[in-house]
A and B are shown apart, each in its own frame.
Chain A
Amino acid sequence: MGAYLAFKELWRNKGRFLLVSMVIALITMLVLFVAGLAEGLGLGNIEYLSKLNADLLVYQKDTELSIAASRIGLSRLNDIRRVEGVKAVGPLAFHRVTIVSGPTMLGIARRPLDVTMIRVEPGQPGEPPVVSGEQLKNTRGKDAIIDRNVALRTGYGVGDVFTVKVIQGTKEQFYPLKVVGVTDGRQYSIQPSIIVPYLTGEEIRPKSEVEFGPRADLDCNVVAVQLVNPAERNFMKERLESLVSGIEAVDIPTAYQATPGYAAQQGTLNTQRYFALLIGVLVLGGFFQIQTLQKVPQIGVLKAIGVSNLTIASAAMFQIVMVTCLGVFLGGALTLMLSLALPPVVPISFTGSQVGLALGSLLVIGPLGGLVSVRYSLRVEPLVALGLNQ
């Protein structure tokens, strides 16, 4: 009976309820976009680290897990490699470079693209698996693996040659690199990435005037460590820190959560998301409360003729759920269409679990916002039908 009354009222007041559904749809879009942005920006910061094929990441001690500040020399890398229980180690160094290549085959000029150049040792932890082409082989080869985002934004594919521009000393230097493989998304520091052999990258990397020229000792920012037994992560972390001086080892989630700005960025975006949900609760609560206030005499008559509180409450809740579901559906569909139209440079990413969580939250806010109006309608006295107030 509640569903019957609710459906009839919805059907005969389609415009009014559709308007509220549209408001919910807009809130849904806002929540989904903020969630997508949080995910996209988060990925842009930590995608490479989060997918790292390693169990531990080793930093220089007292650098507060800052990759940019951390420096680990070759001798210490070898010390780590020799610790019992370590299966493989890979030095990782991160630099900003710019891809400045000529026009495409169709003669369209390519725009310069700032990327993160990640230096890895071929075949060691840190080198991502390719989805097309092949892995790095030559430790000094002028080869590169590009991530999906570079491929999308530049149009390069396996076999293409591109040029990177770096500042070394006070001069711009240009280095050609050949694409040998394409990997999936591996962004770092909100930039797409290219992965190059460690020694090749040593030649290409930006250098100051002072260090311009051959160096006596190579160093890297951090070291990716694969363990013989990944389950012994905590034990190995302590062992590494006790046997190798001046290092700090952490697991991968700790590493990417410590990425500068990541926690603050996620906190800000999550706050926006929660506020959008709160606004949704208030808008829905307000609408249904006003509607209930307008319907007090009508609810009084319904109660007077024998309609139970259960029917009144279920009718109200059915309406709220229907309006919310329609709004969330419309919002979800509009978000999907809009996201398909967005260029790949927009850092928005939707994952099943994150979208599910956002949609679930949105479906909860309707009934939550409507609870006050349901409670109010239950308190309406049937005596109001007779103009009496007890």
Chain B
Amino acid sequence: MRLAATLDLLELRKAGRTPWRTRLVTLATVIVTVIAIVLILATTSRDARAFVTSISSNFAAVGFWVPECTVIFVPLALASLGVGLARRAGFWNIGGEAQILLGALGGFLLARLLPDLRAPFSQTLAIVAAFIFGACACGLFSLLKTHRGADEVLTTLLSNFLVLHFIAYLVGGPLRDPESKWIQSSTLFEAYRFARISGFGRMNTSIVVLIIGSVCFLLLERRTSWSTLLKLNGDNPNAVSALRIDPNRVILGASLVSGGLCGMAGWIELAGNQYRLVQDLSPGYGFYAILVAVIGGGTVLRTLLTAVVFALLLHTIDGVVRDAGVPVYMKEAILGLGLLVYVVNERLRTHSFVVRPH
């Protein structure tokens, strides 16, 4: 019983949300995180000099790293906007990976069905198909949540592995490229690809999709009542009911758009970067999107800004993985630590941790 009494002494007490406290905690968190990331990366690299050279050479040529970062940025930003939108409405979309893969599958199947389509139509239709596939994958779980009470974190999380195995089956079986020795689908037709912008490395026209999407999102956020409705629903579904609006429909709408955006992200990764369907098409964008979305706090500009920072971070890590022998799995550790730092920081901004005096 002594232990039980000791455990009960630890508690979290609400502290005033004073500006200096909020800022100090956030600043301290950011500094600690940056130092931790650099230390982790540096200690796992072959030697410190290779590490520094890798970073400096990576960022020496603007013509190199800007296009490289956009290749990461575009799908990541779309997925993050999607996850953030659903989060705002009170729906945790952890199934980004599944929707990314399904979106890519949707576009790819369309390309298989209509191989003769010309360029602007083919790309537009493929994006629509990707959106629909992703939206269905997410909307299903919102219906299960609202009508059957199934916790969406669990169902969307599990859908990731379900879809991953399903795609593995497809690319290893029905969709497998018979001429390749690798387990992958055949390459995508030229008409469906996002063309590379000449002179800008791997940067491609998919950035147009992101720009259009972001503008639509900004208008949605600033000029429509739907965004207010989403926020209201996330904070208090009863308030939405009081407006004689069905909260379930708000969640359904948000989750459809959320899944659709993730699906588009998947299609952009396929048609803009990799050109074929593989099991590990997404390098974890669906999971990074959760972190980007929560740090972005649901607003479009902050989410985009956070996505830029993450694209830079991922690009830097790719560089030191390639040049300085840092294990690629560091990415996963940093993602996890980032999530933990984020939640603890959120708590400490408004609460303080105390050991209750006797």
A binds B: no
A residues in contact (CB < 8 Å) with B: none
